[in-house]
Structure 1
Amino acid sequence: MFVLISGLIVIVIGWRYQTEAMKAALTELGLNIVEMTDESATLDGGDVLFTGREFFVGLSKRTNQRGAEILADAFKDYAVSTVPVLEGLHLKSFCSMAAPGLIAIGSSEAAQKALKIMQQMSDHKYDKLTLPDDLAANCVYMNLPGKGHVLLHCTPEVFPESAKVFEKLKDHMLIPVTNQEKAKVDGALTCLSVLINKKNNI
């Protein structure tokens, strides 16, 4: 099951009670939920990159073409392009959005090939923030009232060289987050985040 929240996709994987609990919580918030019921389709949230303008969907071991088609059908107002994931678990294993129009991207050959495909598929020109470590490119961007640009990223202890690149983002509030234990089971920062754009009274 995947859940669509105003451009954010939440993948609920695992036991039925987890799926039902997530669905109930989102329903209580009054959010529109679209369920993917085609059993031939696979779609992992880690393969879905929403730039604010369009979607890029990684075709990986966890996501197939049918899953991308269902996402495109749910978001008819946005372009949806597929990107082969040649290495790593999924698309966000080496890229994410670091700000509006700014893609954080790893420096591996697989990451750079994926970026090239994204650039060819898009009508929009994105800036890029190239990081030495692919996994460090998985970060969480938020535009928070009163705070402005906020970026959660892996700590300098884990990725010291990539942390130096993040420090060049002078307009951002940078918050290093420890993720070493979750990384042991392929959990990245975006995997652990559900961002919902709602007013404070909720």
Structure 2
Amino acid sequence: MAAFRYTHAVVSRLPNSLENQGNIDIEEAKKQHENYVRLLREIGLDVIELPPDESLPECVFVEDTAVVCNGTALIARSGAAHRTQEVETIRVVLKKELGLPIIEISDAQARLEGGDVLFTGREFFVGISQATNEAGARAVASAFPEYPCTPIKVPESKHLKSFITMGGPDLLCVGSGKEAQEVLKRMEREATFSYGIIILPEDEAANVLYINNTLVHRSVEEIPLSVKVFSEKIDYPRRPIKISQLASKSNGLTSSCILVRRTRHLRNL
């Protein structure tokens, strides 16, 4: 499906200041992030790496700053004041380096973070959470009117992609836990299209990346039961990777990149 064919990824290197957030081995996190970036390149993506910003400890989690679809970027609007500069940095990269048309959210009351936005290739689901509100969901619908867009209530402290992501064309990956299953039921009630579903024993396994006919998921050391399910259910290439340190602070695999389909050759910053 063309919706999951990508040419570029935007990532940010890990700042040492993330360690001040606690509960993270910063050196191991850096190694995992380096392997993550290497894997994106091996899958065929041209990766733009931004330098780490020590004043922005969460800058590695670029997913929240924008929603990119069909060559257009909707700039997110976080309610967290300390993340405003992250958004400004990504706006410049998407506009000047990638040459993408930029859409700004005009509603001052809107709140939107990219980790709450799931694009299935056919429609959008937007998690209504602590970070994203109904006005934010309306901004996604307005930016991409060619697709249905449905708001979905999720537990406030988590993003939608903590519970469910795309594991392939028309294929949802979702955890087996109570909260994840409740989110899935809401999506199934509201969905415009029908999807296949893989239910995973470990909830944290549900955050995957499907890029250019390759499924990127967490390593067998981190999700042993779910890796077995993937091996039984998925018949296209799979690439496992360790992401435990970054996942302790974020959605996991999706949170550390913005995926873009673009033809122009780009350079690293």
TM-score tier (shorter): 0.7 to 0.9
Kindly state the Cα deviation for residue 38 of structure 1 after the two structures are TM-superposed: 2.7
* Residue 114 of structure 2: aligned partner: 45
Shift in Å at residue 75 of structure 1? 1.1
Matched, 1:57 2:126: yes
Matched, 1:19 2:83: no
Aligned match of 1:167 = 231
Q: Does 1:35 align with 2:86?
A: no
The answer to whether the Cα contact below 8 Å between 1:4 and 1:34 also exists between their aligned partners in 2 is no
Q: CA deviation at 1:169?
A: 4.0
Aligned length: 197
For the residue of structure 2 that corresponds to 1:168, the secondary structure is helix
More moved, 11-20 vs 159-168: 11-20
TM-fit CA distance, 1:106: 0.6
Identity of aligned residues (%): 38
96-105 or 114-123, larger mean C-alpha shift: 114-123
- For the Cα contact (< 8 Å) 1:9–1:48, is it kept in 2? no
Distance 1:82 1:141 in 2: 22
Report if the CA contact (8 A) 1:49-1:57 is conserved: yes
Contact conserved, 2:167 with 2:209, CA < 8 A, in 1? yes
Correspondence list, 1:75-86, <5 A: 75-86=144-155
For the structure 1 residues 70 and 190, does the alpha-carbon distance in structure 2 shift closer, same or farther, using more than 3 Å as the test? same
Query: Counterpart of 1:83 in 2: which secondary structure?
Result: strand
Superposition pairs of residues 182-193 of structure 1, within 5 angstroms: 182-193=246-257
TM-score normalized with structure 1 length: 0.88
Structure 1 position 8, deviation (Å): 7.1
Query: Greater shift after overlay, 176-185 or 58-67?
Result: 176-185
Relative to 1, partners in 2 of residues 1:167 and 1:9: Cα closer, same or farther, differing over 3 Å?
farther
Greater share of residues in helix: 2
Q: Give the AA of the match of 1:26.
A: L
TM (norm. structure 2) is 0.67
Deviation of the 1:186 alpha carbon: 2.5
**Further displaced range: 43-52 or 184-193:** 184-193
Amino acid at match of 2:176: S
1:117 corresponds in structure 2 to 186
Contact (CA 8 Å) 2:116, 2:161: kept in 1 or not? yes
Residue 101 (structure 1) aligned to one of 146, 170, 179: 170
**1:146 aligned residue:** none
- Cα distance in 2 for partners of 1:167, 1:134 equals 17
> Relative contact order: is structure 1 or structure 2 higher (C-alpha 8 Å, sep ≥ 6)?
2
CA distance in 2 between partners of 1:121 and 1:106 (Å): 19
CA distance in 2, matches of 1:3, 1:154: 23
**CA offsets 1:89-142 (integer angstroms, 9 cap, x no match):** 111111100001000011111211211121111231100011011111000001
Cα RMSD of the aligned pairs, angstroms, is 2.2
What is the rounded CA distance, in whole Å, between the counterparts of 1:11 and 1:191 in structure 2? 14
State the AA in 2 paired with 1:140: L
Note the residue ranges of structure 2 that are not aligned, 5 or more in a row: 1-64
Distance 2:240 2:73 in 1: 23
Q: Deviations over 1:28-87 (max 9, x none)?
A: 211111122433111111111100000011111111111101111111111111111137
